[in-house]
Amino acid sequence: MLPHITSPVRALIPVGRYHYWHSTRVIGQRSRAVSHARLARTHILQPMHETRSAQARTADMTIDWISVAGTIGAVASVASFTPQAWKIIRDRSTKGLSLGMFALTCLAFAAWTTFGVLKGEWALIIPNTICLGFALFILGMIALPERKTEEVAETLDPVT
């Protein structure tokens, strides 16, 4: 029976001020290390402070599309409540708006804000806190009697 041979396993090993790539081949149950002399001939020794590849340094300068998508989503979420809040103030009415829907929306934004705080993720905390504020305002305006809704709207946007 032939021994099982796998592909080389490579690891960056510190040697003094330098790192070198250490290769091993697994043969059966044993591991055979490639000699340092062979490594010196086949692999360039790299100073420790220059271990990052050019590709990794270039990746730092590329656009992070995940962050771009998250930022667009956060801005759109925050902006989506502005027209509704302004319409309530301008029309001095919350007719047609669902109290239950805005209560669930507030719960969702509170949960996302809490999740962001627990994870320490400012990208979740900031937009969800702002959205929670808008949603709570709208929920409060829906829950108020119509006379009080008109008074709050008049205070925020006096009709001249």
pTM above the 0.75 mark? no
CA–CA gap between residue 144 and residue 26 (Å, rounded): 73
Encoded tokens for 70: 């998250």
- Give the contacts of 107 (CB within 8 A, at least 6 positions apart): none
Give residue 123's pLDDT band: very low, low, confident or very high (50, 70, 90).
confident
Residue 122 · residue 70 · CB < 8 Å: no
User: For the chain, what is the total number of helices (H) and then of strands (E)?
Assistant: 6, 4
Give residue 34's pLDDT band: very low, low, confident or very high (50, 70, 90).
very low
Instruction: Look at residues 102, 97, 85 and name the one whose alpha carbon lies nearest to residue 156.
Output: 85
- Assign 126 to helix, strand or coil: helix
Residue 141 · residue 99 · CB < 8 Å: no
What does pLDDT average to over the chain?
Answer: 75
Domains of the chain, by residue range, sit at 9-59, 65-156
- Assign 131 to helix, strand or coil: helix
CATH T-level assignment (fold) for domain 65-156: Monooxygenase (1.20.1280)
> What are the tens digits of pLDDT across the range 65-111?
888 898 899 899 889 988 999 999 888 889 889 999 999 999 999 99
